[in-house]
Amino acid sequence: MAKFEIYTDKKGEFRFRLKAANGQAILASEGYKAKASCVNGIESVRKNSQLDDKFDRLESKSGQSYFNLKATNGQVIGTSEMYAAKSGMENGIASVKKNAPTAEVVE
């Protein structure tokens, strides 16, 4: 089963990552000062992941593909890993769309 993992980074900020059922991380958040804000970020992912126009498909300077998921206000709420091919990125987006709405939250 997919899950959102909440953890604290080296700066003491709260972050989450969405992991697919196979354990692979498919989306990672920015740092939040408050845990409640991190939880709100997860809820924003659940909502916005169902809207294709909220995914920005991008290319890194090294030519790898990745995506950002944006909230209604335009802020980035999650970033994917780097993919060698655009098809991998599209599979990642499909996985976020499929898994985010029902993923459990763990700490």
CATH number of residue 15's parent domain: 2.30.29.80
User: Long-range contacts made by residues 35-43, C-beta under 8 angstroms, separation at least 24?
Assistant: 35/6, 38/6, 38/14, 39/6, 39/105, 41/16, 41/77, 41/78, 42/4, 42/6, 42/16, 42/105
What does pTM read for this prediction? 0.93
pLDDT tens by residue, 54-99:
999 999 999 999 999 999 999 999 999 999 999 999 999 999 999 9
**Structural domains counted in the chain:** 1
Question: Which tens digit of pLDDT belongs to each residue from 2-48?
Answer: 999 999 999 999 999 999 999 999 999 999 999 999 999 999 999 99
